[in-house]
């Protein structure tokens, strides 16, 4: 075919029509791809924005300024014993009664029993504990009238955050008293440190995530200690030393299948073996870590094998050529090169374990735990389980607590993935 005939062929109407169809198809594909990415980013932004708007209130609390008279008769103590030396007696005083007395002095016209209960409900059940801590810090103030900021009830907090709207939900009388306190300058917003420093509570304004965070820390520590050495060692053996036969093929198939098994199955395994056979403590981070290790181990093995496979064969051949043993080749040359991928896979696997709920529900970490766990065998819960518990609570104030806990969980996941990226760049070797 001559050059002229080729040009005539490409310039023919049929070929030009085909080229136009190709260009239109390519433009359509690019447009659809851009649209898909934009839709995904928009959905992600909508999700995170909705959670952030709802969860921002969890980090802000409402306090009420009360003038509390610390009458000496409210503090029982042996005669002649100094206040500073009777901390245990001071802690048993009726501080909630002192809070109610202070509210009574602000609204003396409230006489009916039902109205008095609603008036007292303006303050949180933790107001007495906050007043107790104030007195224990300086017992010499007993006998004086002190002005102290105390936490308001969760319904009061929600009513104020709504812009003093929805009075029908809060109650007309309570709304009038709340607005009167605000007009007198006795209401303020403050950083809700309780949410970040305390454990769970039945009262939304007193509930915190610190206990769940500590439980997640102990659980992930157990998981990491188990999966990192076992996963890397298994990957090295299967990739560098194992003889290719039916036995190793069966192991590889099972590992790949286990990586796709639903997480609740591992929870059933942990329930049956760790609790039923080994009689380990229920609702403990030790059992949770062992269960999550079983779930995460196949993922770590697969990602580690892929990283080892990506190491250039020339590195192995050069090391063997200068007299290195197979073990030295792996330890001194292959693993250091594959380490970025190994660490990335490990951290991603740990991030998945951090967000898992179903296995922990099966082994009993769904219990209501107020105390902060101090070790691997103490009763504890985890952050995703805490979110599940709060989402199932009927109180409206737990909605923002749930969203706030989700924000904390997302922050941890972002930090872990950022750490994976940083470690990959730190240990990556360029040739």
CATH, residue 311:
1.10.3720.10
Are the beta carbons of 197 and 207 closer than 8 angstroms? no
Order the strands of the 145-151 sheet from edge to edge. Answer: 145-151, 60-69, 187-191
Share of the chain above pLDDT 70, in %: 93
pLDDT of residue 204 exceeding 70: yes
Q: Is 34 among the domain residues?
A: no
> Are 288 and 344 contained in the same domain?
yes
pLDDT for res 87: 64
345-371 confidence digits (pLDDT tens): 888 888 888 888 889 888 888 878 888
Looking at 156, 191, 226, the residue that finishes a domain is 191
119 and 255 assigned to the same domain: no
On whether both 186 and 262 belong to a single domain, the answer is: no
In this structure, the answer to whether residues 61 and 112 fall within a common structural domain is yes
Tell me: do 125 and 235 sit in the same domain. Answer: no
**Domain match, 376 and 418 both:** yes
Residue 333 maps to a domain: yes
Q: 16 in a domain, yes or no? A: no
Query: Is 383 a domain residue?
Result: yes
Can you tell me the mean pLDDT for 47-53? 89
How far, in Å, CA of 382 to CA of 73, rounded? 44
Residue 5: CB atoms within 10 Å: 8
Structural domain boundaries enclosing 145: 56-191
SS3 149: strand
Phi first, then psi, for residue 68 (nearest 5°) are: -105, 125
The mean pLDDT of 426-431, rounded to a whole number, is 68
Task: Tell me if 17 is assigned to some domain.
Answer: no
Which tokens sit at 338?
């594959």
Report pLDDT digits (tens) over 364-416: 888 788 888 888 888 899 999 999 989 888 888 898 899 999 999 988 888 88
Q: What's residue 84's pLDDT?
A: 46
Task: Count the domains in the chain.
Answer: 2
Name the pairing type of β-strands 187-191 and 60-69.
antiparallel
101, 181: one domain: yes
- Same domain membership, residue 145 and residue 214: no
- Mean pLDDT throughout 288-299? 92
Question: Helical H runs in 70-170?
Answer: 87-90, 95-106, 113-120, 127-137, 154-161, 167-170
Same domain, 222 and 86: no
* Res 234 pLDDT > 70: yes
Q: 163, 191, 219: which is the final residue of a domain?
A: 191
Contact call for residues 237 and 326 (beta carbons, < 8 A): no
Mean pLDDT score across all residues of the chain: 86
The verdict on residue 19 lying in a domain is no
- Residue 61 shares a structural domain with residue 153: yes
User: Residue 31: what are its φ and ψ, rounded to 5°?
Assistant: -65, -40
pTM: 0.84
pLDDT on residue 416 = 81
Q: In the prediction, which pLDDT does 4 show?
A: 55
CA dihedral (213, 214, 216, 217) positive or negative: positive
Q: How far apart are CA 178 and CA 394, in angstroms?
A: 23
Domain annotation covers residue 347: yes
Once rounded to an integer, what is the mean pLDDT over residues 128-133? 90
* Helix residue ranges per DSSP H, 310-357: 313-321, 326-329, 335-354
pLDDT digits (tens, 9 = 90+) for 248-264: 889 888 888 888 888 88
pLDDT value of position 10: 64
Domain for residue 373, yes or no? yes
Same domain, 215 and 146: no
C-alpha dist (Å) from residue 172 to 58, 104, 156, 424: 25, 18, 12, 59
């Amino acid at each position: 075919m001559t050059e002229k005939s080729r040009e005539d062929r490409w310039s023919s109407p049929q070929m030009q029509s085909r080229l136009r169809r190709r260009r239109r198809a390519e433009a359509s594909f690019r447009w659809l791809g851009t649209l898909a990415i934009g839709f995904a980013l928009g959905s992600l932004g909508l999700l995170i924005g909705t959670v952030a708007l709802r969860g921002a209130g969890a980090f802000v609390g409402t306090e009420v300024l009360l003038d509390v008279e610390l009458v000496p008769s409210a503090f029982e103590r042996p005669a002649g014993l100094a206040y500073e030396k009777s901390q245990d007696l001071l802690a048993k005083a009726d501080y909630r009664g002192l809070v109610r007395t202070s509210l009574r002095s602000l609204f003396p016209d409230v006489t009916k029993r039902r109205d008095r209960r609603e008036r007292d409900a303006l303050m949180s059940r933790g107001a007495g504990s906050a007043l107790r801590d104030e007195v224990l810090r300086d017992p010499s103030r007993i006998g004086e009238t002190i002005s102290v900021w105390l936490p308001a009830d969760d319904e009061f907090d929600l009513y104020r955050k709504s812009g003093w709207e929805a009075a029908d939900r809060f109650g007309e009388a309570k709304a009038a008293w709340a607005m009167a306190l605000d007009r007198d300058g006795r209401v303020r917003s403050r950083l809700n440190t309780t949410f970040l420093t305390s454990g769970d509570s039945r009262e939304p304004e007193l509930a915190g995530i610190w206990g769940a965070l500590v439980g997640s820390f102990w659980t992930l520590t157990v998981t990491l200690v188990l999966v990192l050495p076992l996963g890397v060692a298994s990957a090295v053996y299967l990739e560098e030393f194992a003889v290719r036969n039916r036995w190793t093929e069966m192991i590889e198939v099972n590992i790949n299948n286990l990586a796709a098994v639903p997480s609740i199955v591992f929870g059933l395994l942990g329930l049956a073996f760790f609790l039923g056979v080994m009689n380990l403590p229920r609702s403990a981070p030790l059992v949770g870590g062992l269960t999550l290790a079983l779930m995460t181990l196949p993922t770590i093995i697969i990602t580690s094998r892929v990283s080892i496979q990506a190491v250039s064969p020339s590195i192995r051949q050069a090391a063997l050529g200068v007299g290195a043993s197979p073990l030295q080749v792996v330890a001194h040359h292959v693993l250091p090169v594959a380490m970025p991928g190994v660490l990335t896979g490990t951290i991603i696997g740990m991030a998945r374990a951090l967000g898992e709920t179903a296995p922990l529900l099966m082994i009993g970490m769904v219990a209501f735990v107020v105390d902060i766990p101090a070790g691997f065998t103490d009763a504890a819960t985890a952050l995703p389980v805490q979110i599940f518990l709060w989402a199932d609570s009927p109180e409206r104030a737990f909605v923002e607590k749930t969203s706030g806990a989700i924000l904390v969980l997302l922050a941890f996941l972002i930090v872990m993935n950022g750490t994976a990226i940083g470690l990959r760049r730190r240990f990556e070797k360029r040739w």
